[in-house]
Structure formats: C-alpha cells, structure tokens
Amino acid sequence: MEKKSRPNEPLVTHIYTADPSAHVFEGKLYIYPSHDLEHDGPDNDNGDQYQMEDYHVFSMDDVDAPCIDHGEVLHMKNVPWVSKQMWAPDAAYKNGTYYLYFPARDKEGIFRIGVATSKNPAGPFTPEPNYIPGSFSIDPAVFVDDDGRSYMYFGGLWGGQLEKWKTGEFNPEGKEPAVNEPALGPRVAELSDDMLTFKEAPQEVQILDENGNPITAGDEDRRYFEGPWMHKYNGLYYLSYSTGTTHYLVYAVGTNPKGPFTYKGRILEPVIGWTTHHSIVQFKDKWYLFYHDSSLSGGVNHKRCIKYTELKYNPDGTIQTIKPYDN
C-alpha cells in the first residue's frame, strides 16, 4: 500500500530528491525536482557533490495522497549539449504543451539552460537540440502571468557561476561585488510565445530594502544567492529566493514581474543540510511551500529529500515565517 503524504515529512524515500518545483496541472499537483545521486565524491563550494544526471516527475492527487513516481523523464545522455550536472528544473504549461526547463553544464563547463517538451505533464520530455540562446547560470523558474506573458527567472552564485556574468559575458575570474556594493540579483527575461527562446536579453532584477536602497552583497541574511521563484498573490508579485550562506528562504514584493522588489521577510528558517530551494503553489483553497532538506540521509548535503508544508499569509499580505521542525 502506498504511503500517504504528510506535511514536513519526505515525500519520496526510494531515491534522493531536491529543488522541488510544484505546479497544478490537470487538477493534480505535479512536482519537478532534481535527482541526487549517491556517491562519495568531493563536497565543496563549487557544487561538485551535486552530480545529478536525470529527472523524475512526481504527482499527488491531493496533498494527503501518495506521491507517485512517474519514472525518469529526461536523461543527460539524450541532450546533445550537456556534459554534466543537470540541476534544479522547473516546468510550465502553455500552447497545449508542457515545458521542462533545466540547467546543466555545456561541453565547456559553462552552465546553460535547456528546454524539453511533452504533451503530458508526467513526461517523458523531448529536449531541444541546443540550450536557450543567451541563457546562463542555474535555477530557472518560469512564471506565466494572467495576461499570458511568460518570464524566466534564473541565476545562482558560486557553483551557479552568476558572478562570472556581471559584464554580460562569461569571465572565469568573475567575483562577487564588495560587501558594501549592491548584491547581484537574479536575471529575468520574457519568453517568446513558443516558450523556447528569450524575447529579449536577460536583465538583472533589483531587490531593495525598506528605504528603497539596493540590498548589499554583505547583507547575507537578505541578499539573493540562488533559487528564485515567482508567484502572484492579491495582484502583487512575490519574488522568493534562497540567501545561500545563511540558509534562509526569503521574499520581496513588487508591482511588476520584472521588479523592482522590496524585501519583506523570511519564509523558511534553516533546514538540515546546506542548500535551500523551494516553490510556492496554490492548490484548491490553500497555499503550499515545497522545499527540501537532508533529513533522510542524516545531513548529507547531496542526499536530500523533498517536503511540503502549508504557507499562510497575514491580512496585510506578508507571509508567516515557517519553522520547519516545530510540531
């Protein structure tokens, strides 16, 4: 008998999963995570421990229903431009087609973002022969707005190479800004109508403090590090992301999908393990946070498990901070 799903408990236990992107398709919850492989290789700030090479898709008929594994839907051996490390993906639906967006290193070791398509939300997905022109770094998150326009948010520091793209060209010696300088923001680009290319060159997203000043690189409790996500609530755009080194999930709010966004607070306190990567989705009449930790492996950074919990808003639109291990 399949086990029912419960809040703050691993949704998947037969393989290691991370970076869950959750969506409601065809009346069900579909989850698109990355797939951590078991190995004893190096663990470092460059992310060499994350040796993922394929994707599985999972679905749930309801939040307390079993989480079903639909199997492998895409493998790096079927993507001509990929050399290794298929990291955190996302999915979108438009034009009667499901799109799977994924980062991976190209043959030169530079992270790019690819796209694959399917007529079924559970896949399998057929990849485009090359990565999206003009794409770079990691953690694609695609948001389809109410007017049908679609945007991709992406970018991650360190292993994700975002700091190497400050000039718009890849510089292998690129560094983060000084601590008193504005922090690097994620990138955003509107997608073409066919969802396969960018309509424009990616631009940096501004994240501001309560006084309208850019969050600085030294403000590690609030500055952007990786894992962007966009959702809309009561007509406002909520950009949420990971702070990386301080292990928070936080959010900023704006009136335009391209920003600027004003920092508002924390969504999730630190979890077991180094990375924090999430998605936020409305299902039926409630909102949910999907996230991961390393509890299934006892804290091994590259052996993670996906989880979910209910997300609650205050009357003023702020999000109530979640402490993941409180009963």
Structure tokens given for 70: 């639909």
Could you give the 3-state DSSP secondary structure of residue 165? helix
- Which residues make beta-bridge pairs with 252? 239, 263
The DSSP call for residue 11 is S
| Cα distance between residue 175 and residue 182, in whole Å | 13
Catalytic pick from 36, 90, 226, 293?
Answer: 226
Q: Residue 160 in contact with residue 111, Cβ under 8 Å?
A: yes
| Cα distance between residue 29 and residue 163, in whole Å | 34
| Cα distance between residue 129 and residue 106, in whole Å | 12
Catalytic pick from 19, 36, 90, 204?
Answer: 19
CB atoms within 10 A of CB 150: 20
Identify which of 286, 250, 282 has the alpha carbon closest to the alpha carbon of residue 269. Answer: 250
19 is known as an active-site residue: yes
CA distances from 57 to 53, 165, 177, 229 (A): 14, 31, 37, 19
| Beta strand spans in the chain (E) | 16-25, 28-36, 54-60, 68-75, 90-94, 97-105, 111-118, 126-127, 141-144, 150-154, 187-190, 203-204, 207-208, 226-233, 236-242, 249-254, 261-268, 279-283, 286-293, 305-311
Identify which of 122, 117, 103 has the alpha carbon closest to the alpha carbon of residue 23. Answer: 122
Query: Would you name the residues annotated as active-site residues?
Result: 19, 226
